[in-house]
Structure 1
């Protein structure tokens, strides 16, 4: 059975954050170490095959996605824990790094089967993004009329819990002060209450995890089928929403680069280092993130006019130094071969996205 294991590894506490050169070195060391392993001996001597890995390094450490074939969830998690522990231990400059999280996520085929098994009036919607948001929110597909705790009182309780969670997550979006969302704006049409700004910020943080997981699953589908988006027969979460004119260019390699771009962008959002959108791929990533946040807010009945305005204010603020039309209108995009090219010399570019793809027809 195929499992996706997410691993967060962090630099030692009290150590200065890594600069771009250190991050480039770290990603090379981690990628080389993982690429050298094809199988791991897990608990009880069970062999677990390593199918694929993706590494995204940020100033405070790295996020790893490791795909393994294991007989059970426990073996997958335990084997990847052993693998990463050994990688850190045998790599001198990473020896003091620590594993903060190592958790298993079901492969999308299994998640889809589980969701599809529900029927009746409360069956999951056909749209995959809505399904994922609903599944993440913990909504029960077993609702029946007059049964369970999901009546009006239960729904209100869930809504309050979702609101509280979004407000709590808002503090993690360190790159944007309330004013960016429109708090205390001079223009009444753009002004929003502080709580609405916090709901928008929290939704973006919540949407980040969902978007990264879904894009990773898109990578897996394309890699397993050895196909482009135009040729892919399996369902995709997001990549089908990219401009159709380049659909034959969206292969697994492109999808990996785009996923790393999303991780790098949202990491700068949360660690406070974001300055401006760096390339076309980041503009597209922002559009996906805003869509995901909107879906999440709608699901929890938290998307009112003020919150919508807060998200729009943020989008406008991020587009000041770039072309607003490119974010919202894909037809205005630069040529495909330029999507990962930094706009300026001071634009951030993750080391894993800087290799130029083979020349593609325009």
Structure 2
């Protein structure tokens, strides 16, 4: 908080990322795909009608951009604003979302469960570089990522005992998350027989780690989006630090601009929502295959960070990947010696769609019932 205040004093207005979790009324049925598409339209239309808002004490807060990701139980909103202080950003966005929900009879009973503010990555970096003392985070992006992954305390373990205690706490949290991965029974992770009922076993740890890493992946992809938006460049031309988008196939790096990053982020959210709501059947498009690759990499990195990635957990994640991918067609995109621009890769699986960049967000199947659902914010433009 003090760092944010110092930064706002210097710059007058700061770009903040406000994360808002909204939920449908308790006890009501989860939304089906058609209802979720309707909720997206209502919320996005509401934001589109707003350019700036008068916050507390008459301070103007400027609305820069929004991302709306609706899931069966509500919506995750990312609201980007310019405000003179963190408190103004948070209070104003909460009041704005409250008003937008109340305007619609279909959303009026929704509730706001969380409203948090994050500094824009570049401005936060400037503030942190100016900060002094032992609590100032490191300048190196990799070191900052390790601290970010470690949790909100931002501090690494002081000794071996602390490291073991922290790893045990993270393992416990992952195991608690495992049951939320409703689309995948333990057998998906290679569990057999009695292992399937072991709530503290390898399969449960792998499942929980996937959800633990999902939260990190979404936050870091959002930071990637903000870097590309501010610099107004593609990944190949970006000078700022990126978490994940630079790990997509290099051949298309000039096309990974802010618009692509936005579609890709929404795709990650839509995919992982299907993981947790029990509706996942198969990957819907090429972009989802690439998103899963990033998620699995983040999962492995997070487990390794806490000393939880052993041979058994690695095998469980491999079993999960084999089950979900139904083949590894997307890997052809990483081989620059192969031409995949005009169609599916040679030798690709029977369900493969064309791997050309323009087809990444095109559903494999036309019917949502056949897992052809692609989130409206990521779907191809109608030409």
Please state which band the TM-score falls in when normalised by the shorter chain.
0.7 to 0.9
CA distance in 2, matches of 1:266, 1:142: 28
Aligned to 1:146: none
Aligned to 1:335: 356
Listed one character per residue, the Cα deviations across residues 226-263 of structure 1 (whole Å, up to 9, x for unaligned) are 21112222221111111111112111111111010000
More off after superposition, 52-61 vs 253-262: 52-61
Aligned to 2:148: 135
Aligned to 1:324: 328
Listed one character per residue, the Cα deviations across residues 290-330 of structure 1 (whole Å, up to 9, x for unaligned) are 0111111011010000111111110000012xx32415863
Listed one character per residue, the Cα deviations across residues 58-97 of structure 1 (whole Å, up to 9, x for unaligned) are 2222111001111221111101001100001112221111
Listed one character per residue, the Cα deviations across residues 186-239 of structure 1 (whole Å, up to 9, x for unaligned) are 9xxxxx996111111111111111111111111111111221112222221111
Aligned to 1:349: 374
Cα 1:109–1:127, aligned 2, differ >3 Å: closer, same or farther?
closer
Cα 1:138–1:111, aligned 2, differ >3 Å: closer, same or farther?
farther
Residue 181 of structure 1: which of 189, 193, 215 is its match? Answer: 189
CA distance in 2, matches of 1:139, 1:6: 15
Q: CA deviation at 1:135?
A: 2.5
Residue 50 of structure 2: which of 37, 40, 50 is its match? Answer: 37
Cα 1:195–1:124, aligned 2, differ >3 Å: closer, same or farther?
farther
Which secondary structure does the structure 2 equivalent of 1:213 belong to?
Answer: helix
* Equivalences for residues 66-145 of structure 1 within 5 A: 66-113=79-126, 126=140, 128=142, 131-138=144-151
Cα 1:37–1:141, aligned 2, differ >3 Å: closer, same or farther?
closer
Q: CA deviation at 1:161?
A: 1.2
Listed one character per residue, the Cα deviations across residues 92-111 of structure 1 (whole Å, up to 9, x for unaligned) are 22111111211112222244
CA distance in 1, matches of 2:153, 2:270: 33
Residues 190 and 319 in structure 2, CA contact (< 8 A), matched pair in contact too = yes
Unaligned runs of 5+ in 1: 144-148, 187-191
CA RMSD of aligned residues (A): 2.8
Equivalent residues, number: 345
More off after superposition, 271-280 vs 217-226: 217-226
CA distance in 1, matches of 2:114, 2:148: 22
Q: CA deviation at 1:22?
A: 1.8
CA distance in 2, matches of 1:123, 1:79: 29
Residues 49 and 68 in structure 1, CA contact (< 8 A), matched pair in contact too = yes
Which secondary structure does the structure 2 equivalent of 1:92 belong to?
Answer: coil
CA distance in 1, matches of 2:69, 2:155: 38
Residues 40 and 70 in structure 2, CA contact (< 8 A), matched pair in contact too = yes
CA distance in 1, matches of 2:300, 2:141: 15
Aligned to 2:173: 165
Q: CA deviation at 1:181?
A: 0.6
Residue 237 of structure 1: which of 239, 243, 259 is its match? Answer: 243
CA distance in 1, matches of 2:209, 2:331: 19
CA distance in 1, matches of 2:171, 2:132: 27
Residue 302 of structure 2: which of 291, 296, 301 is its match? Answer: 296
Cα 1:103–1:141, aligned 2, differ >3 Å: closer, same or farther?
closer
Q: TM-score, normalised by structure 2?
A: 0.83
CA distance in 2, matches of 1:123, 1:101: 26
Residues 137 and 144 in structure 2, CA contact (< 8 A), matched pair in contact too = no
**1:55 pairs with 2:68:** yes
Residues 250 and 334 in structure 2, CA contact (< 8 A), matched pair in contact too = no
Residues 174 and 272 in structure 1, CA contact (< 8 A), matched pair in contact too = yes
Aligned to 2:201: 195
Q: TM-score, normalised by structure 1?
A: 0.87
Cα 1:205–1:327, aligned 2, differ >3 Å: closer, same or farther?
farther
Cα 1:221–1:357, aligned 2, differ >3 Å: closer, same or farther?
farther
